A and B are shown apart, each in its own frame.
Chain A
Amino acid sequence: MNRIQTKLQENKKLLSIYFTAGYPEINDTVSIIEELEKNGVDMIEIGLPFSDPLADGPTIQDSSTKALKNGMTTEVLFNQLKDIRKSVSIPLIIMGYFNPMLQYGVEAFCKKCSEIGIDGLIIPDLPVDVYHEAYQDIFDKYGLINVFLITPQTSIERINFIDSVSKGFIYMVSSASVTGSNLGFGNDQETYFERISSMDLKNPQIIGFGISDNKTFIQATNFAKGAIIGSAFIKFISNNSIDDIPKFVTSIR
């Protein structure tokens, strides 16, 4: 069983953290992953930086620009992670845009992920239909779980389709927005969370976008299996050192 699937079976609410590889400094990648695991984070999304991240807000885009300036590339990231499974055992997901993967070669990319011990991928601009038609066989061959997003506007039919193609969890985008909006959750979101929760989907849901503190974490995990924090962590790590990570994790739960 894939590490993501095993983790989802644990009887607890999951905390997943996103960070941009190669940020703040090029060689921080591995130390950040190790420190997050040590402090009880359940799952990590490693952001492969891209020059034009359409679905991200300014915080993640700025960190991506900086990481690219620091010299981060697909090859560099794979090198940094090559021994990661000697020290880390929680599920690791690479989140990135499709063009860098396409240039690396989708099959070569998946093969490398599987050799390193990456468990899944999140590719916001690879739509489920294209994945299903052209790439699913490759992902399956290398035992990688692809995670799809749904939003408050996603139709019921499409949610059911995404559920049928998914093999791990569904990434539930909390509201119509890019990453890093920080407005808290109101009635609209709660209604939406409740609506999806009551669909009894085959895959558990993990909520992301707009989760920044203990309050929003609790609100989200009331209805879902877990929550993902991205921009808030990037902001924290911009102003603090890796040794301060325990402070961040305890402030969330």
Chain B
Amino acid sequence: MKLKVCGMKYQDNIIQVAALQPDYLGFIFYEKSARNFDSEKIPELDKSIKKTGVFVDESIDFVIEKINKYNLQTIQLHGKESPEYCITLKSQNIEVIKVFSIVDEFNFEKLKPYDNVCDFFLFDTKGKYPGGNGYTFDWNILSNYPLKKPFFLSGGIGLNELENIKEFKKSNASNYCYALDVNSKFEIEPGLKNIENLKKFKNITALAETTKNKKERVMNYNVNEKGYYGDFGGAFIPEMLYPNIEELRQNYLKIMAEPDFKKEFDKLLKDYVGRPSPLYFAKRLSEKYNTKIYLKREDLNHTGAHKINNTIGQILMAQRLGKTRIIAETGAGQHGVATATVCALMGLECIVYMGEIDIARQAPNVARMKMLGATVVPALSGSRTLKDATNEAIRDWINNPVDTHYIIGSAIGPHPYPDMVTRFQSVISEEIKWQLKEQEGKENPDYVVACIGGGSNAAGTYYHYLHEPEVGIIAVEAAGLGIDSGESAATSVLGKEGIIHGCKTLLMQTTDGQITEPYSISAGLDYPGVGPMHAHLSKTGRAEFMSITDSDAMEAGLELSKLEGIIPAIETSHALAIFKHRTFKPDDIVVMSLSGRGDKDLQNYIDYFKI
């Protein structure tokens, strides 16, 4: 568990406490507090310590001024700040902790509106003052904590609580406890900390952590305030792109939280895309593999795949940012068609970059885009496929920095793209939750499964299950002709950490750092990288990665057609092929994203099976 020491005031004392290496140091900016921090500067601290500003119902400008003046990494909000207030500050590249005070009981419903707009909750004892009252609350209340958001435990924690902390750590109430927050019980006078006692506390709690009652601590699989998922993500972009990316980063959460935006997005998903997409119990497939298989029918969306969820979201985003020209990259043409579609819907200019080789391979989709009014520009550089189309789109954006929005089609690219795309696609798991509840009486299946190229349908399928440890996550990559064949796209196996298209992730490359060309029979899975969220899920072991060859995928596609009357996209066929290789229990519930329909792949199926 992490440690936060709050209520720092005196320069020498700050340096002494910092030497103990706490994870957070808190500075209170509240005039009525005896610990109000009014020095001109905070001494230089080790970069691993997060400087935290504590505020009570201040104006946004006041908070921003303090963030800049003291270079704060975290803010802690102790008053009646609204969710909108939190989101405005979160856009400042800052970690947000929202405080709630607990007396004898607590209505956890109050937390829900804040779940998506802050990074942590902090639970404090309700008393006379906003914080710093010096006594604890009944921690057992937290065993009813219904959310997954990690929290700080605060309120009157001192050396006398060591036994209670030990007990607390063993109990379920601590499942999502991320840090302990201490203050007045370690003071000689308000704001002056007793170093010896703090040292003792830190050593003993750290020791307790390494003994046998250590439980699996809560992990955060969402993006952090700097745009990282663990070691992956970030924004490695040329300076020419900085203003565009920064504009998007500052605004995307704010815009997505606007009631007007949500309303329009939901309405289009319903009336235009045809959502909710059905959650279909595949009876004959389930019988064959002796387990319970549900298919989330993204193939029934308008344009035939999950891609449109994201393009609808991004076109509305582009409009609110005042952009008039849309660019996109596409491999097989699915994302290109989904982008051209929403541009036609909104009457915006649309330019789609597509590798010259892909243009030749995917003539029907090229024709669709043209019918929809888009200009298709061939990418002639490099290997003339998806990664080069992406390079060309990025170059276009560099050349048109003011009026253009780039709709990236997968959960890749510089921050905030992976998070934004994931949030737009998360409608998939949001629906699975209530649909499964209707059919099975519970929201959580035993497994969620999706195929992964860059990983947008997977990100949407997993999103609401990331922090449900009882739900297994399975990611299916394309092995092409086989992992060791040299013709593969199994990035989690063959990839190494590196940088592609603006983010740090796993990617296929030479030892010299040159990006290599992947291969898969499915045009939607042959991307040399994988979204940073998935790289993190792979590295932490949260998701189980499998790879499926061309031939297994093709057979699985044919099998679904014959058993269920559904012809899947070849991408999706990779996910379907896992049943041949992995056994599930008869009463396991396996929800699989049927990400796209097979019409676009008909020629491939015809050639492969000589139909």
Contacts and interface: CB of A to CB of B under 8 A. Distances in A.
A90 interface: no
B404 to A, nearest CB: 11
A133 B47 CA distance: 9
Interface centre among A97, A104, A128 (most CB of B within 10 A): A97
Contact of A130 (B236, B401, B497): B236
Nearest to B515: A51
A108 interface: no
A61 B382 contact: yes
B391 interface: yes
Contacts of B243: 151, 153-155
B288 to A, nearest CB: 43
A151 B239 contact: yes
A161 to B, nearest CB: 11
Given A51-B382, A104-B513, A153 B500 contact: no
Contacts of A127: 235-237, 239, 242
Contact of A101 (B235, B400, B509, B513): B513
Contacts of B382: 51-52, 61, 65
Contacts of A125: 236-238, 499, 502
Given A54-B391, A58-B381, A99 B401 contact: no
A52 B238 CA distance: 13
Interface string A117-129: 0000000111110
A99 B513 contact: yes
Interface stretch (A27-35, A171-179, A217-225): A171-179
B59 interface: no
B45 to A, nearest CB: 14
B512 A73 contact: yes
Interface string B487-530: 00000000011111110000001011111100000000000000
Given A52-B500, A55-B398, A61 B381 contact: yes
Nearest to B240: A151
A52 B513 contact: no
A176 B240 CA distance: 7
Interface centre among A75, A125, A155, A158 (most CB of B within 10 A): A125
Interface residues of A, number: 43
Interface centre among A54, A101, A148 (most CB of B within 10 A): A54
A150 B500 CA distance: 22
A87 interface: no
Nearest to A50: B514
B381 A149 contact: no
A3 to B, nearest CB: 24
Interface string B394-415: 1100111110000000000000
B236 A178 contact: no
Contacts of B236: 98, 125-127, 130
A238 to B, nearest CB: 16
A224 B387 CA distance: 37
Interface in B39-63: 47
Interface in A174-217: 176-178, 181
A99 B239 contact: no
Contacts of B380: 58
B395 A103 contact: no
Interface string B210-249: 0000000000000000000000001111111011000000
Contacts of B237: 54, 125, 127
B398 A100 contact: no
B439 to A, nearest CB: 45
Contacts of A242: none
B240 A103 contact: no
A153 B513 contact: no
Contacts of A53: 391
A159 to B, nearest CB: 10
Contacts of A150: 239
Given A58-B381, A73-B512, A101-B513, A176 B500 contact: no
Interface in A73-116: 73-75, 97-104
A102 B513 contact: yes
Contacts of B394: 54
Contacts of A176: 240, 398-402
A57 interface: yes
A68 interface: yes
A177 B391 CA distance: 14
Contacts of A97: 499
Interface centre among A51, A58, A97, A128 (most CB of B within 10 A): A51
Interface of B: 47, 234-240, 242-243, 380-382, 387-388, 391, 394-395, 398-402, 496-502, 509, 511-516
Interface of A: 50-55, 57-58, 61-62, 65, 68, 73-75, 97-104, 124-128, 130, 133, 148-151, 153-155, 158, 173, 176-178, 181
Given A99-B499, A103-B512, A127-B239, 13 more contacts: A50-B514, A51-B514, A51-B515, A52-B382, A52-B515, A54-B238, A62-B381, A99-B509, A103-B511, A104-B512, A104-B513, A127-B236, A176-B401
24 contacts: A51-B382, A52-B500, A55-B238, A58-B381, A61-B381, A61-B382, A73-B512, A100-B514, A102-B498, A102-B513, A103-B498, A103-B511, A124-B239, A125-B236, A125-B238, A125-B502, A126-B236, A153-B401, A154-B239, A158-B242, A176-B240, A176-B399, A176-B402, A177-B240
